[in-house]
């Protein structure tokens, strides 16, 4: 059986169909509020064409086979949608090591790599409160670049997200370098409606650099499914 994988396109090549997707969703298997079944029903009601369950995992996660089986069974009743079973995992160092086991990596149909915490070099994490905005941006940038260059990811998820939650707009020079590096690898970079504090500026950079993109709302509740798609359609992205 060949593995299902979403197809990612460069920003300038996005069609309405490519935009009509929701490629970051969390369920009650982790910190999401709804079941996979409810997510699928809601996505269908909203006309979403492709959806990815990207559950948070760690290297020691032991429930992934059960999660996979549940969704694999459910998606058979939603064959009008392309449904992918994937993961979101975090960077553990600046060389792109992920908090992810080999077995889960082998099973996942889409792998999102994120910066969630800043590892120190002693097996722990730095406290965000002790870091300046500049330090936060630089560390997040380096962790992101490690994944872009080396990690077995399909998508760099919510780029600049940790910085933006604390300090506002992520420095444009870092976004620019990250986008260029994703094209060299290549991996997709996510347009994420939950973390981007200035979507219009990020889209301008996408127009300029034309990276391969993924589209995700980081939906944790049913009412968030399709948010990023709707914002992009409102901006005229992917319309002829
Ligand atoms: Zn995340």
148: containing domain: 18-234
Give the contacts of 69 (CB within 8 A, at least 6 positions apart). Answer: none
Calpha distance 190→110 (Å, rounded): 13
Whether 189 is in a domain gets the answer: yes
Let me know if residue 7 belongs to a domain: no
Residue at 35 is within a domain: yes
Instruction: Report the pLDDT value the prediction gives residue 1, as an integer from 0 to 100.
Output: 53
**What tens digit of pLDDT does each residue of 126-146 get?**
999 999 999 999 999 999 999
Average pLDDT over residues 182-203: 97
Average pLDDT, integer, range 162-181? 98
pLDDT band, residue 121 (cuts 50/70/90): confident
108 alpha carbon to ligand 1 midpoint, in Å?
16
CA of 114 relative to ligand 1 center, distance in Å = 6
pLDDT in the model for residue 173: 98
Question: Does residue 238 have a pLDDT over 90?
Answer: no
Q: Is residue 169 part of a domain?
A: yes
Contact at 8 Å (CB) between 22 and 215?
yes
Distance from C-alpha of 183 to C-alpha of 93, rounded to nearest angstrom: 21
If you average pLDDT over residues 12-23, what whole number do you get?
A: 96
- Among candidates 89, 104, 107, 83, which has minimal Cα distance to 23? 83
Distance 41 CA to ligand 1 centre (A): 23
Residue 111 and residue 105: Cα distance in Å, rounded?
8
What is the pTM assigned to this prediction? 0.97
pLDDT digits (tens, 9 = 90+) for 35-82: 999 999 999 999 999 999 999 999 999 999 999 999 999 999 999 999
The mean of the pLDDT values for the chain is: 97
Tally the domains of the chain: 1
The 188-192 sheet, strands edge to edge: 9-10, 212-216, 188-192, 155-156, 111-114, 82-90, 50-56, 21-25
Q: Which pLDDT does position 25 carry in this prediction?
A: 98
Is it the case that residue 26 has pLDDT exceeding 60?
A: yes
Distance 177 CA to ligand 1 centre (A): 21
Identify the DSSP state of 3. P
Residue 240 pLDDT > 80, yes or no?
A: no
- Residue 177 domain flag: yes
Is residue 88 assigned to a domain? yes
Whether 11 maps to a domain, the answer reads no
Position 2 scores a pLDDT of: 65
Q: How far is the CA of 115 from the centre of ligand 1 (A)?
A: 7
Residue 34 lies in a domain: yes
Domain CATH number, residue 95: 3.20.20.140
Q: How far is the CA of 240 from the centre of ligand 1 (A)?
A: 31
CB half-sphere exposure, 125, CA atoms < 13 A:
13
Distance of CA 92 from the midpoint of ligand 1 (Å) = 14
């Amino acid at each position: 059986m060949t593995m299902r994988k979403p197809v990612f396109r460069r920003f300038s090549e996005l069609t309405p169909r490519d935009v009509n997707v929701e490629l970051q969703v969390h369920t009650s298997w982790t910190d999401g509020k709804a079941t996979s079944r409810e997510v699928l029903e809601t996505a269908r009601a909203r006309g979403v064409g492709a959806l990815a369950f990207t559950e948070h995992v760690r290297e020691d996660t032991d429930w992934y086979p059960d999660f996979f089986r549940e969704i694999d069974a459910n998606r058979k009743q939603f064959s009008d949608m392309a449904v992918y079973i994937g993961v979101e995992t975090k960077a553990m160092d600046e060389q792109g090591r992920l908090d992810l086991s080999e077995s889960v990596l082998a099973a996942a149909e889409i792998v999102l790599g994120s910066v969630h915490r800043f590892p120190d070099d002693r097996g722990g994490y730095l406290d965000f409160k002790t870091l300046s905005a500049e330090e936060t941006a630089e560390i997040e940038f380096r962790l992101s670049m490690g994944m872009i260059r080396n990690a077995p990811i399909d998508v760099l998820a919510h780029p600049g997200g940790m910085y933006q939650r604390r300090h506002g707009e992520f420095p444009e020079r870092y976004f620019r370098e990250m986008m260029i590096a994703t094209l060299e690898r290549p991996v997709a970079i996510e347009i994420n409606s939950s973390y981007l504090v200035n979507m219009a500026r990020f889209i301008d950079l996408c127009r300029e650099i034309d990276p391969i993109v993924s589209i995700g709302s980081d939906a944790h509740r049913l009412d968030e499914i399709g948010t990023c798609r709707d914002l992009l359609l409102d901006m005229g992205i992917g319309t002829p």
